[in-house]
Structure 1
Amino acid sequence: MARVLVVEDEKVIAWHIEQTLERLGHTVVASLVSGAKAIQIAEETKPDLVLMDVRLKGGIDGITAAEQIYARFDIPIVYLTAHTDDTTLERAKHSAPFGYLVKPLREHDLQTTIEIILHRHRLEQYTKVIHPEAHTHSWQRIEKYLEVLQDEGKYESNLANRLLDFQSTSTSIESLSLTSIDLQQWLPQVINRFTDLAVCHQHTIVRSISPTIPTILLHLPSLEQIVDELLNNACYYTLPMQSITITAEAKNNILKLSVTNTGIEISPNEQERIFQPFYRILHHNPWHYNGIGLGLTLINRSIARLGGQIFVRSGDRVTTFAVVLPLMTN
């Protein structure tokens, strides 16, 4: 179990976090309200993990304290976030924390995050002491571990950023800002970002974008999140030498986007569960870590917020994720 330093200036929330941690078997080394004090206690107690409120009163806020603690003591930081201003959100992202937890915390979220963060931190510490003159066979395996760690670190970092973005919009009572989007130009640009990944995995990407799609009005960050997640999943779960097809069409005031990959199926039982938080489909490649099971949950919520739906069809070694959204045009 982990030794955790809690830094939260709202007493009720701090008490709830302490109780939850102790119920899960973890040890709370201290519960603080000050960023400056957090740095001091982190140095003295060397906890395994710090849960840090992004916004703290005083001269040193949570982000500044987190940056110093990680830089000086190599202790992983998990931010505690609520809806806050865009400037603070961007600062939090750029400080590269190990993860985020949205207040109020749920026990399952807390435990899952702690397990993932500690595992990732242990792997990073291990790579720092690897000697390059290791035995050839061992070094080849080590290089593979490093490659997996790098890929999954990027994925988890991107997912954490999307979690923060999602929280900033889902807690807002304001309408989403709409952007004029020319899908004929925008969608190929997004698809091109996955070209290198597809080549690496020996996939063929096919695109079919209807020339009759008008310029649409939509929340661009949400649309980008949806397309990115579906393409990322397709690249990672499709077997080598198979194809990934992206289609886009509009009819009867409905925009339909679909991503189809060949060579793999999702069982009916899994289809019923894949949009549930933290549910993960096992990957065919044993070297590939299967994520934390939040990507499809997040885009499902984003799609619902846009007034749309997502469907999955799978059979005969073909799987399609189809997104339908109400069409708003200029």
Structure 2
Amino acid sequence: MARVLVVEDERVIAWHLQMVLEKLGHTVVESADSGIQAIRAAETARPDLVIMDICLKGNIDGVEAAEQIYQSFNIPIIYLTAYADAATLQRAKRSSPYGYLLKPLRTQDLQSTIEITLHRHQLEQSAKNTQIQIQENLNQQLQQVSAQFSVGVICIHLLQQLFHQISIHANETDALKAVLQQLGQSLAARYCWLTRYDTEQVRSASERGKATVICEYSEDGLGDHPSLMGRVLDLQQNSEFYQHLNRRKFWLSPDNQRLPVPYQALVVPGTQLLVCSLGNEQMIIGEMGIVTTDEWRWSEQQIELISNVMGQAAIALRQLSSHLLPEESQGIGTVDRLKDEFISAVSHELRTPLTNMRMAVEMVQRVANSLKNSDANPEAQKNSQLLWQRMERYLQVLQEEWNQEFHLINDLLDFQGTGIADDPILLAPLNLQEWLPPIVNRLIPQALKQRQMLTCRVAPTLPVLTTDASSLERVMAELLNNALKYTPSGQQIRVTAEPDETWLRLSVTNTGATIPSEELDRIFQPFYRISRRDAWNFSGTGLGLALVKKLVTRLEGLVQVESDNDRTTFTVLLPL
């Protein structure tokens, strides 16, 4: 039953209304005879609903009192009237009351109006609460997307700085210092530093000896921060700290007792300290430290992304400084040209996804604003489902472009590492009959979506292969992705594995496209793109097939290509 405020300036009618309400089981919390008294009673008693006479005497009539009560206290109003002039009735309609009761009252009308009013108000409140909760969830999602997006942009800037340093022939130390400065400025960090271990390509901290700070950045020229430049740390004396980093984990504002002594002075009130390993899955060459204000909210994904990009950049710079394209015998002019082509291609490829990401973020913000204003806009309420669908689509675009950007970064850095480093490969027995079909099957949905036929055949007599499964999977993924990308709709992609004397022959064949014969010898060169006149001209950095060649060479194999009569076959030969 309802708690009711009765507002009626005719005492007899007010008394009769109270009697009927109580007979129906409701409670009259108070009775008022003026607009001002009604507003005060609503504020103190907070009834479930108000039955308001439209024509009240005094400076505030029933319509104005009802508007103030509903706007201030969100209490539904039922108007009570016997007569009113046309202007007053129009004002009453515009105030969107929950119902009208005509004098003299009928008990049945009173009860049904009260029930409808309470039910409608309950539904509206439930919808409003749900909308508020949806809005809160949306704000959280937008904050998360915005944070990931901002860190992604920071990483792109780091890579752009890295490529710039390569283009101006900066040495390793100067280039790392410039990249670290870019990171510090992008994060508004108080202080950043990099260390280098004196032993690399090992996975146990106990096998290492020392870590030396090789470069640092400070927003205020060090200021209150002590300089760490040139400091040498003993890894074995801080074994717990470095064993944690060795497992590719990070330290975020740890207790001072866990930190090496030189780092302890960096932890001051109002700041937070992040320390993470510098390297990749194959090697750890040092660590990176960042001091930011405690207002910055780190997530594991953000830390992992920045750590990976900085680690790969450090490895690439070290390798480039001493082994620039060692298998090539080019002159300086050729190297400069390759660098220029590389930077040009990278700039284009990085810019396109970023532009799409920015547009998606702007559209998400517009939709969010529309949803925020839907309470006061009935038309927006009707279209809320459409707005949510648009929101989901823009978020999907943002995610896709982010993935494209991230994979591009990984490809670029992997090429730098694989093309130069002599990392040990992990040889192990590999059963192709069990290993290859799942790799191909993962791509069948994409092929079907593009109306392509993707098949796989492995010879039953194929012996067990001894190789590095990770490198071989990367090779097959690159060849298959290329085939899916360049095969026209309605054409076929066939993957085969069969023995050929002392070799294993892995082939990826696609129909519907031909590479010009004069270009076949050049497609494995870094940064090379096929001429625009051919159907195989698609955007890319020209590193995919170069990466395939590097990986296959490390596996002591060969990679070949044949293309004619609308059929192209890439073949990987690996020693059995």
- On the 8 A contact 1:169/1:176 being kept in 2, the answer is no
CA offsets 1:18-75 (integer angstroms, 9 cap, x no match): 98299xxxxxxx995796x65663367xxxxxxx98977679x9x99xxxxxxxxxxx
| Structure 2 residue corresponding to 1:230, chosen from 471, 476, 479 | 479
Structure 1, unmatched stretches of 5+, are: 8-12, 23-29, 45-51, 65-79, 134-142
Equivalent position SS for 1:184: helix
2:447 partner amino acid:
A
Stretch of structure 1 that moved more, 173-182 or 318-327: 173-182
Corresponding residue of 1:17: 165
Q: 2-side partners of 1:124 and 1:310: how far apart?
A: 37
**1:217 Cα offset (Å):** 0.9
| Structure 2 residue corresponding to 1:123, chosen from 356, 369, 374 | 356
**1:114 Cα offset (Å):** 3.6
1:41 partner amino acid:
Q
More relative contact order in 1 or in 2 (CA 8 Å, sep 6+)? 1
2:168 partner amino acid:
T
Q: TM-score, normalised by structure 2?
A: 0.40
Q: TM-score, normalised by structure 1?
A: 0.66
Q: 1-side partners of 2:561 and 2:182: how far apart?
A: 47
Corresponding residue of 1:296: 545
Matched, 1:245 2:443: no
**1:158 Cα offset (Å):** 3.0
How has the CA–CA distance of structure 1 residues 284 and 323 changed in structure 2, closer, same or farther, with 3 Å as cutoff?
Answer: same
Matched, 1:95 2:340: no
1:20 partner amino acid:
I
1:85 partner amino acid:
M
Percent identity (aligned): 31
Q: 2-side partners of 1:313 and 1:19: how far apart?
A: 35
- On the 8 A contact 1:83/1:171 being kept in 2, the answer is no
Q: 2-side partners of 1:180 and 1:168: how far apart?
A: 25
Q: 2-side partners of 1:160 and 1:40: how far apart?
A: 20
Corresponding residue of 1:109: 342
**1:164 Cα offset (Å):** 4.1
Matched, 1:160 2:308: no
Corresponding residue of 1:85: 283
Stretch of structure 1 that moved more, 119-128 or 222-231: 119-128
**1:168 Cα offset (Å):** 4.8
Q: 2-side partners of 1:31 and 1:191: how far apart?
A: 40
Q: 1-side partners of 2:167 and 2:440: how far apart?
A: 46
Equivalent position SS for 2:506: strand
Q: Paired residues, what number?
A: 278
How has the CA–CA distance of structure 1 residues 19 and 259 changed in structure 2, closer, same or farther, with 3 Å as cutoff?
Answer: closer
Q: 1-side partners of 2:303 and 2:433: how far apart?
A: 31
Corresponding residue of 1:42: 186
Equivalent position SS for 1:255: strand
Equivalent position SS for 2:354: helix
- On the 8 A contact 2:498/2:504 being kept in 1, the answer is yes
Q: 2-side partners of 1:258 and 1:93: how far apart?
A: 39
RMSD: 4.7
Equivalent position SS for 1:302: helix
- On the 8 A contact 1:307/1:325 being kept in 2, the answer is yes
Q: 2-side partners of 1:284 and 1:148: how far apart?
A: 26
CA offsets 1:220-248 (integer angstroms, 9 cap, x no match): 11100111011100011000011100010
How has the CA–CA distance of structure 1 residues 17 and 315 changed in structure 2, closer, same or farther, with 3 Å as cutoff?
Answer: same
Matched, 1:205 2:454: yes
Structure 2, unmatched stretches of 5+, are: 1-155, 197-213, 217-227, 229-244, 251-277, 288-300, 322-338, 371-391
